[in-house]
Amino acid sequence: MQIFTIFVPRNIDHYDVSFINGLYILTNSMKIITLGRTGLKVNKNGFGALPIQRISMKKAVFLLQEAYDNGINFYDTARFYTDSEEKIGAAFADRRDKVIIASKTGAQNTTDFWKDLHQTLRNLKTDYLDLYQFHNPPFCPRPGDKSGIYDAIKVAQRQGKVRFIGISNHRISVAKEAVDKGLYDTLQYPFSYLSSSGDEKIVENTRKRGMGFICMKALAGGLITDSALAYAFLNQFDHVLPIWGVQCKSELEEFISYQTNPPELSSSSWRKIEKDRMELAHDFCRGCGYCMPCPAGIQICDCARMSLFLHRAPLSVYLTEEWAEKMKKIEDCKHCNACREKCPYSLDTPTLLQKNYEDFKVFWKQKAKNAL
């Protein structure tokens, strides 16, 4: 009698079992995409590690390893995300070759570039990055420009510290140039069903040019509340890798469930998308945070979206004394226009804040009236 040892994956639901030529064959049923010309094979779900700054090391390591155990193999972080890199390093130091790690540098000169890169490698407990990206620069780094950072990243690539080169940006002009110049292996850019036709053209052009497209803000900074609908929309684009920002197990499980039971776009789905587009797809704040900090102490990222929150979330969440105090800070706006100048979407942020404040006051008065 022959005895066989069979390896059963921890999450057997993610595998299809076939009996071929006398053997049981396990094949992964999760959707895998190729990240452009990098050739990197990644799970359609990417892990956006910005939110794990907000949780403890122990909780972050658990969450990251839970994602890994459920087939997620792409992890996006940045030097700017405080201890996010260190948490990824702690989670994956013993399985570095099994995961794909991307980080970013906000450096705009070579001294800061090398400082960031070496610190990132130490934090991640590794001697190389699968993907290193320029983090939202106000220009598109090019060979021979005065910043020198593109030439520096090419040196790092030749040294084996960086496998592939990417750029992350919120500015459509920079994104267009990055795609047109063909200098980058990947582009990370905001994309969702609220995006403009211009944004969708960028996505299509990356496909044509063989660039990997990493999708951030797939939930439009929290304005999209139906993650299944967001996933279904992005699932149409076979070269697009969404990175979902998660900070708790329930959020992670939500996206993991879509791997083996992917939501589909139905006629009712498209009606919901069109309704959201009518309500939201105008000059709205995405909550990217590049306008912060505000010299007047205004919590711009949330206050500039208050009207949308009030129309899409339970009123009890936002009609509180705490939020009333935060919104009242808008009265202290110095009209310095610093937020407007830093906004990658060219929004008139002071005017947007004022409009949201007026809307909030209407709801606040109605709450007081109902309480009588």
* Among 150, 180, 148, CA closest to 165: 150
Residues 158 and 260 in one domain: yes
Instruction: List pLDDT tens digits, range 327-344.
Output: 999 999 999 999 988 887
Q: Which two tokens stand for residue 334?
A: 């110095």
Residue 158, exposed/middle/buried by CB under 10 A (0-12, 13-18, 19+)?
Answer: exposed
Q: Of the residues 259, 274, 289, which one is the last residue of a structural domain? A: 274
Residues 245 and 308 in one domain: no
Query: Is residue 283 in some structural domain?
Result: no
Residues 89 and 200 in one domain: yes
Which residues constitute the domain of residue 343?
A: 300-371
Residues 269 and 306 in one domain: no
- Give the count of domains, the chain: 2
Residues 205 and 343 in one domain: no
Looking at residue 224, its pLDDT comes to 87
CA distance 67 to 134: 25
Looking at residue 282, its pLDDT comes to 66
Looking at residue 118, its pLDDT comes to 98
Residues 166 and 123 in one domain: yes
Residue 223, exposed/middle/buried by CB under 10 A (0-12, 13-18, 19+)?
Answer: buried
Query: Is residue 164 in some structural domain?
Result: yes
Residues 252 and 358 in one domain: no
Query: Is residue 62 in some structural domain?
Result: yes
Residues 89 and 156 in one domain: yes
Question: 0.85 exceeded by the pTM?
Answer: no
Residues 181 and 230 in one domain: yes
Query: Is residue 295 in some structural domain?
Result: no
The tens-digit pLDDT sequence of the chain (372 residues) is 444 444 444 444 444 444 444 544 444 457 899 999 999 999 999 999 999 998 999 999 999 999 999 999 999 999 999 999 999 999 999 999 999 999 999 999 999 999 999 999 999 999 999 999 999 998 999 999 999 999 999 999 999 999 999 999 988 889 999 999 999 999 999 999 998 888 999 999 999 999 999 999 999 877 888 999 999 999 999 999 999 999 899 999 999 999 989 999 999 999 999 988 887 766 777 777 788 899 999 999 889 888 877 776 667 778 899 999 999 999 999 999 999 888 877 888 999 999 889 989 998 888 887 876
Assign residue 85 the CATH number of its domain: 3.20.20.100
Query: Is residue 285 in some structural domain?
Result: no
Inter-residue contact 206 to 187 (CB < 8 Å) = yes
Inter-residue contact 73 to 35 (CB < 8 Å) = no
Query: Is residue 11 in some structural domain?
Result: no
Query: Is residue 290 in some structural domain?
Result: no
The distance from CA 221 to its chain's CA centroid, rounded to whole angstroms, is 9
Cβ contacts of 27 within 8 Å, gap of 6 or more:
15, 16, 18
Instruction: List pLDDT tens digits, range 261-289.
Output: 999 999 999 999 998 888 776 677 777 77
Cβ contacts of 265 within 8 Å, gap of 6 or more:
232, 233, 236
Query: Is residue 22 in some structural domain?
Result: no
Residues 214 and 362 in one domain: no
Cβ contacts of 112 within 8 Å, gap of 6 or more:
105
Inter-residue contact 71 to 99 (CB < 8 Å) = no
Residues 145 and 211 in one domain: yes
Residues 147 and 181 in one domain: yes
